[in-house]
Amino acid sequence: MATPPPPQQGAGGPYSPHAPHHPYGPPAQPGAQPYGAYGAHPRPGRYGCILCGAWPAAPATVRGHQGLIVLMRFLSLRGPFCRDCGLATYRRMSSDTLWQGWWSPLSFFVTPVTLLMNLGPRAAFRRLAPPAGGHRPPLDPGRPMWRRVPVLLFLVPLLLLFLAIPALVVIGAVVGDDTPHPLTSGQCVRNKGDWTDQKLVVTDCGSPAAEYRVRRPTAATGPCASGDYLARPEYSPDGTLNCLTPLR
């Protein structure tokens, strides 16, 4: 009597390479997110932050510079970075560049370019959402740039230089110069020097500081009167000596 064949389990048998085999559970459904020890990455195939593994992360390169008298060092750290790690890296490398990047002749030009190049990554980091799902906590961004000691040490001299220019203009306008200016008849002046080194300054005739009234000698007015002083030729447009009549 012939033995009947064993029952078939699918077209290829239970161990056939064509048979469904799911030793770790059912297959993932289309559209389902993979999972792991730290949560599912929302965009499979994309990497998280290079420092903490969190996402979202932006690809960027943060740069730094060091001047070494006769040598230079060009520093860079390439991402992607999450928001917090990116800002922490940008602030650290930029603040270090502000006090380390000036100490060679060419570094004086390279340092500003480096700082400007870091503004692009900074803007990209600030647009990111808060980091999540990393394998370690993200870096602490720390204090903003304008509150860090290297930045203050750089900005204070720059601010003083910026304020010095208008201050010198104002001082020059208030003090004036000692170059003789031509006088006209009827003006009142005071002498800030002595008569061998005249420094005649035009003054309001109603001011107590006014000392002399200018009079130009002509055929109609006649020569200078007795007791008048003579202004130096530099105070006349044609070299004629003006008369200075005392007001008191």
Percent of the chain's residues with pLDDT above 70:
75
Token couple for 71 = 């040598």
* Higher pLDDT, residue 40 or 54: 54
What's the CA gap between 132 and 33, in Å, rounded? Answer: 16
pLDDT digits 0-9 by tens, 151-196: 777 666 667 777 777 777 777 666 655 677 788 888 899 988 877 7
Q: Give the 3-state DSSP-derived string for 142-168, with helices as H, strands as E and coil as C.
A: CCCHHHCHHHHHHHHHHHHHHHHHHHH
Is 16's pLDDT higher than 60? Answer: no
pLDDT digits 0-9 by tens, 94-110: 999 988 888 888 888 99
Give percent helix, percent strand, percent coil of the chain, each to the nearest 5: 30, 15, 55
Average pLDDT score over residue span 212-216: 88
User: Is there a cis peptide before residue 56, judged by omega within 30 degrees of 0?
Assistant: yes
Average pLDDT, the chain: 78
Helix, strand, or coil (residue 114): helix
